[in-house]
Amino acid sequence: MEIDIPLSPSKGFRMTASYRTRTWLFVIVALAVTLLPTLAEDWTTNDGKTYRGITVLRDDSVSVTILYADGGATINLADLPSDIQKKYGFDPKAAAALKAHQDSQAAADLKAQQDAEAVAAKLKVQQDAKAAADLKAQQDAKAAADAARAKQEVDLASQESALTHKAKADYDSGNKATVNGQIFIVTQGGDNIKLGMIHVYLFSGDQIDASLSVLAAKADYEEKKLKPTLDAEEAAESQAEKAEAKAFLDSLQTDKDVNPIMIASDLVDKKKTLDDSLSKYKATVDKYSYYTSPDFYAGGLPTTPITSSESDADGKFTMQIPKTGTWVLAAKGQRSVGDKTEGYFWLVKVSSDPIANNQIFLNNENLAGSNSPDSMIRKNVDSGNTDSK
């Protein structure tokens, strides 16, 4: 039997089966000789370390790479007995040159590492110094703001006393008109709800201007202090919402290799994280919103009104108001609507027209936070916040 084995696309070579067999035996023997490791033996280095069951994998004039009973290693021939050095052609000059190169490289690596550590240490010192400086600047700015705000409050207390004294003098000496007023709320359904037992206070315009100036500064301070926390919690809430949405989509998959209990547990965890984030974010939003709401200003009115009145069951009240000067009416009320309570606050300038007509109304149109020109606290249409006027 003969087999054709082409050696190239253009030239063939005919080989008998017996010759082919001898050829392959030669190749196998050659490979075996090439790959056959040195017979296992034991070596002991010059410093007394013993390697047992050694098989040499690779050698050169400087080192040998071996497998031994406990693993593998590369050993410098300089560390082995002279007979082994001679067997593997140890070259002392090459070994010395290699060692010098390795020592030089090790020294260079060590210096590079030391230089990098020095640069990192210097950078850390600079960063720490900058962080400390930034922190001190923040603390100083906060302390200055706190001191300025405290001074404003002290000045306001002193100023309020003087303004109250002047307002009372102006009130007592001024020509007054009797003004008839009424307090009521018109519901969305058109019902007219009269508010009785509401205290109505009269202040001078100067009293209210001084209070609103300090309150506006305090509101701005508190808003700026809360803004970083608000932004961070808004970002955390958004991230938690995305994670919860992904976990929900994962829970809908039908992959049999996925443990449904683990998927459900992950969804529960993500939902809890989202709920916690929403709760924190809402609490901060409520706190932030308080300083942009009429309620904040309602709590900072001057402590001493010039005079006061109280509405009756029909929401009506009567008050003596000077015909000259700027005067402001303040009133707070509330009513129950189902299981909720609606609060109302008025801080309204008394212009000459209602005094001349002897009539003034406190209602939906001039509530604090409305766009009424008579309200001292009006809605900022652009920002949605309240402005003191």
Q: What is the pLDDT at residue 16?
A: 44
Query: Which three-class secondary structure string do you get for 238-276?
Result: HHHHHHHHHHHHHHCCCCCCCCHHHHHHHHHHHHHHHHH
Spatial distance between the Cα atoms of 77 and 91, rounded to a whole number of angstroms: 9
| CB-based contact 205:327 (threshold 8 Å) | yes
Bridge partners of residue 379, in order along the sequence: 386
- 1-10, 163-172, 299-308, 374-383: least confidently modelled range: 1-10
The per-residue pLDDT for 7 is 38
Ordered by start, the domain boundaries in the chain are 18-90, 174-388
pTM above 0.75, yes or no: no
pLDDT in the model for residue 256:
56
Our CA dihedral for 281, 286, 290, 292, rounded to 10 degrees, sits at 60
Fold designation for 18-90:
SH3 type barrels. (2.30.30)
Span 29-46, average pLDDT: 62
